[in-house]
Amino acid sequence: MITERAVLDRIEDGIAVILVGKNEEEYHVKATELPEGATDGTILDVQATSGKIQDMTINHEETADQKARISAKMNQLKKKKGGRFS
């Protein structure tokens, strides 16, 4: 099985929507099956076969890096004069 990078897009009505790989193929799993601590935006390493996720773990390093990039970008937007975030 190949491990692919994925992102936890959202959780709606107890169902987690996970976007897998570069093509962001959409998978649905019960929120109770997520790794402990997974929230919207969490980067996951997943193994999927036959249209089903077999295993998933949180990629803590990638998740922290992505959150830092987003935070830095938001701070830049807030500093722009006349922007909707200032």
pTM for the full model? 0.82
Q: How far is the C-alpha of 19 from the C-alpha of 6, rounded, in Å? A: 5
Vertex 27: Cα angle to 73 and 19 (nearest 5): 20
- Residue type at 42? T
Output DSSP code: residue 82.
T
Which residues lie below 8 Å from residue 52, measured CB to CB, with a gap of 6+? Answer: 27
- pLDDT digit string (tens) for the chain, length 86 residues: 789 999 999 999 999 999 999 999 999 999 999 999 999 999 999 998 878 899 999 999 999 998 899 889 888 888 876 666 65
What domains lie within the chain, and their CATH numbers? 3-79 (2.40.50)
Q: How far is the C-alpha of 18 from the C-alpha of 7, rounded, in Å? A: 6
